[in-house]
Amino acid sequence: MAIESPSTQSFAHELSDGAHPASLHPSYLGVFLTFARNSLVRDMTFRSNFIIECITSLAWMGINLGYYMLVFRFAPSIGRNTGWGEYQFLVFLATTMFINSLVQAFFMPNAEEFSELIRTGRLDFALLKPIDTQFLISLNRIGWSSLSNFLFAIGLMTYSLAHFDQLPGLAQVVLYPVYIGCGVAILYSLMISLAATSVWLGRNETLYDFWFYITNFSRYPMEIYEGRIGSPLRWFFTFIVPVLVVVNIPARLLALPLEAQMWPLSLFALLAAVASLWVSRQIFRRALLSYRSASS
């Protein structure tokens, strides 16, 4: 089966210029809400499984937290004079959890499914639908149980901020969600690009592993990467694969005072988010062009 257009959006567009414009132009918000509701219905059908999933991912968060609190029994901060004391780092950790839980809830199940769709040829059905394929593929299923980590992060954030001498100002609080959004966008771009490579590689079972290893670099304040090996690493993961700005920028914004902000880097983060989305969109289109259905 030959796919001419990389995106079925144009197909929908052509038709919508025709006789029935209103009925064929999809409402993206409406579709998204339907996806969300369907996923919730599905999750609630196997309720005890849902609860077990929540508990296990919370346990995992708890163990992570335990590890860092243990480390801080032995050292006052991460690095010398970096400002990352125990509570500052807990804000950092909560930020990591916010971003990861959003990515895991909205995109992770779909990226895994995407590789599977390509392998089995079921992607045909997605291509035929009169809606943007990337939108359909990326948000089809929502893992509600991953949002339990989001709640955990809210708790952790409240606990850590309560130990601050000076609470963050209005500008910081307003910008924080914006940068959380940027972080999610960068990680999403990375994930969908990785998943799209299964068009060329045939199968992509190590996707999750690879994802884990790359995002591993985003888990700590960027100051720790220094020296002969650290500085090039830091440069690479800031400017080439911008995973270092994902958590660092929003966390720094909230945890450290205004004087300690890296404003140029914060500006760069906005740019990186937009650029990542654009690049991933190109990779996705390319992948669809190379897709040869496996079903018929």
Partner 1 sequence: MMREEPGYRTEGATGAALAVERSDWMARAATWWTILRISLEERLVYRGDFALGTLMRFLPLVTQTFFWGAIYAAKSQDGEPPTIAGYTYEEMIAYYLLTQICRAFSSMPGLASTIALQIRNGEIKKYLIQPVDLIGFLLLGRVAHKLVYYVVAAGPFALVFFLCRHFFSGWPEPSVLLAFVASLVMSFLLGFFLEATLGMIGFWFLEVSSLLFVYMLFSFFLSGHMFPIDMLPGGFGTVVRALPLQYLAYFPAAIFLGKIQGEQLVWGLLLQLGWVAVFAFLARAAFYLGVKRYSGFGG
DSSP letters spanning 116-160: HHHHHTTHHHHHHSSS-HHHHHHHS---GGGHHHHHHHHHHHHHH
- Restricted to residues 80-119, the positions that interact with partner 1 (CB under 8 A) are 80, 82
Which two structure tokens, joined as six digits, stand for 40? 């919730």
Number of residues that bind partner 1 (CB under 8 A): 32
Judged by CB under 8 A, the stretch of 56-64, 114-122, 132-140, 193-201 that binds partner 1 is 56-64
209 binds partner 1 (CB under 8 A): yes
Helices (H), the chain: 9-16, 21-24, 28-45, 47-71, 86-106, 108-120, 123-128, 133-139, 147-161, 170-196, 198-201, 207-215, 227-235, 244-255, 263-290
Instruction: Give the phi and the psi of residue 85 in degrees, each rounded to 5.
Output: -80, -175
Burial class, 147, CB count within 10 angstroms (exposed 0-12 / middle 13-18 / buried 19+): middle
Q: Which is nearer to partner 1, 30 or 76 (CB)?
A: 76
Q: Which is nearer to partner 1, 9 or 64 (CB)?
A: 64
281 binds partner 1 (CB under 8 A): no
9 binds partner 1 (CB under 8 A): no
Burial class, 58, CB count within 10 angstroms (exposed 0-12 / middle 13-18 / buried 19+): middle
50 binds partner 1 (CB under 8 A): no
Cβ at position 121, least distance to partner 1 in Å:
24
30 binds partner 1 (CB under 8 A): no
* 8-state DSSP, 239: I
217 binds partner 1 (CB under 8 A): yes
210 binds partner 1 (CB under 8 A): yes
76 binds partner 1 (CB under 8 A): yes
Cβ at position 244, least distance to partner 1 in Å:
11
Q: Which of 152, 148, 151, 183 is nearest to 254 (CA)?
A: 183
77 binds partner 1 (CB under 8 A): yes
219 binds partner 1 (CB under 8 A): yes
78 binds partner 1 (CB under 8 A): yes
Are 280 and 199 within 8 A, CB to CB? no
- Restricted to residues 230-249, the positions that interact with partner 1 (CB under 8 A) are 230, 233
Q: Which of 79, 155, 177, 202 binds partner 1 (CB under 8 A)?
A: 79
Residue with tokens 């190109």: 282
Cβ at position 259, least distance to partner 1 in Å:
20
Cβ at position 145, least distance to partner 1 in Å:
13
Instruction: Give the phi and the psi of residue 212 in degrees, each rounded to 5.
Output: -60, -45
Q: Please, which residues have CB within 8 angstroms of residue 180's CB and are 6 or more apart in sequence? A: 95, 98, 99, 102, 250
Q: Which of 1, 40, 75, 151 binds partner 1 (CB under 8 A)?
A: 75
Which residues of this chain interact with partner 1, rule CB under 8 A? 52, 56, 59-60, 63, 66-67, 70-71, 73-80, 82, 206, 209-210, 213, 216-217, 219-221, 223-225, 230, 233
